[in-house]
Amino acid sequence: MPTASASDFLVLDGVAKSYGPVQAVQDVSVRVAQGEFLGLLGPSGCGKTTTLQMIAGFEAPTAGRILLEGRELAGIPASKRNIGLVFQSYALFPHMTVAENVAFGLEMRRVPKPERQARVARALDLVHLEHLADRFPRQMSGGQQQRVALARALVIEPRLLLLDEPLSNLDAKLREEMQVELREVQKRVGVTTILVTHDQQEAMALCDRVAVMQGGRIVQIDAPWRAYDAPADPFVADFLGRSNRLLARIDGATAEAAGHRFPLPEALAALRGEVALAIRPERLRIRPAGQPGLPGKVHSRVFLGGFWLVRVETPAGDMLVTVQNTGTPPAEEGAAVTLDWDAHSLRRLEAAA
């Protein structure tokens, strides 16, 4: 066994992929620890799927190295990598029953029949589908097919599990259920997992760390809550949840935006001049008009069950505010209000013009 510390279980080192003049992936470097759940998050065309394909062995990198357990993967075909894959379309074999689908990988490994049956049963048990072993995929719901795909990928005891937009074909409620289940199964099996998704909520709910990608590069890699709280740039701030932009002029320990003067956190006190600041909707508070703060007018309010999403027009631009649903609706549309926030909620957006 080649030596590789547990924190270097999977290493992508300067990986790039170009199709002719098109750079799909550029200089992607990331270290994944054993048992970690890493998310590759980004809009379509950001290179996340191409990165996954290169790890799986369906595409060859044009530059850089991929090492799994310290061993370089280049030249090893997909069928010899022992990497489990779950596809967006599930890709279950339509002509095989659930049990046959799950057994396929074991058959390829020439696992003897009695052991094969026992392992298939165990894998189906893991995803609570043992009672549907003799069904065909077409006779099952999307969520069930998804679980079969997961069992099929896990039964081969893969070194690495790759999930390619696994939940995007499910409806919202089922997706949330499957997120919980997926996370549980991954923790129980302990397999190192990479999830590709464009859904920031999914990435944040499932992953230990997320790598936010844009234009073929990783722009930030961090724990979800940290990336959310301290986005590296405006793209990440906007992509991970909602964010408000506040253009302010800083002089000394206070800043001024559209005539409103407010204190700055210590971390930003050294800045001078025009600076783009960011603040999350849940960090803004709506106060009655006339109180100290940024004055504005409610433009619209949308009820979302657990909370309200309120858009407030201010001289510094439109601001989104989330208000916890406590039983009383927030200020009505057209009402004059004041926006207020704590200084430590302000973040600086890099590279903002």
Q: What are the residues binding another protein (CB under 8 A)?
A: 56-58, 77-85, 87-89, 91-95, 104-105, 108-109, 136, 138-139, 152-153, 156
Closer CB to another protein, 87 or 307, in the complex? 87
CA–CA distance, 243 with 5 (Å, rounded to integer):
38
CB of 195 to another protein, least distance (A): 16
Closer CB to another protein, 99 or 227, in the complex? 99
CA–CA distance, 182 with 74 (Å, rounded to integer):
29
CB of 58 to another protein, least distance (A): 6
Token representation of residue 235: 């793209």
Residue bearing tokens 């923790």: 187
Closer CB to another protein, 93 or 303, in the complex? 93
Closer CB to another protein, 82 or 325, in the complex? 82
CB of 309 to another protein, least distance (A): 37
CA–CA distance, 229 with 346 (Å, rounded to integer):
10
Do the Cβ atoms of 241 and 212 come closer than 8 Å?
Answer: no
Helix spans in the chain (H): 48-56, 98-108, 113-126, 142-154, 172-189, 200-206, 224-229, 234-239
DSSP 178-195: HHHHHHHHHHHHT-EEEE
CB of 86 to another protein, least distance (A): 9
> Which residues, listed in sequence order, are joined to residue 195 by a DSSP beta bridge?
39, 163
Closer CB to another protein, 116 or 348, in the complex? 116
CB of 93 to another protein, least distance (A): 5
